[in-house]
Amino acid sequence: MIERLTRRADFLKAARARRVAMPGLVMQMRARPEAPEAPFRIGFTVTKKVGNAVVRNRAKRRLRAAADATLPRYGLPGRDYVVIGRAGTLTRPFALLLTDYERALAKLHGGAKAPTAHISPV
């Protein structure tokens, strides 16, 4: 089970850290020097610009599902990740959303070669 960020202070600390924007999401990452070997944590947020509560919750569900599929393989211990949903989160094919996660993590972790898309765009 992936630990979740719930405290506003943790979200604000991550907002001051590194970030990368992808078509389907924005990801922020903060290293936790007080707990370098602790499991990583993740938080999700979607602003009202994306839509009403139903739309925002649907976007968060997609982001959580993508995180569950990618972060166990690519997440680093002692890190806090915050994923911000965008308007494209709902319309982007899920395979491309997974690729967005992988590329964002690669960039945040030091510019490792980003993986290519799982499917070819139509």
pLDDT tens column, 28-78 = 999 998 888 899 999 999 999 999 999 999 999 999 999 999 999 999 999
Structural domains of the chain ordered from first start: 3-108 (3.30.230.10)
Q: Are 102 and 78 in contact (CB under 8 A)?
A: no
> What does the radius of gyration of the chain's CA atoms come to, in whole angstroms?
14
Q: Are 28 and 82 in contact (CB under 8 A)?
A: yes
Task: Report the predicted TM-score, pTM, of the whole model to 2 decimal places.
Answer: 0.86
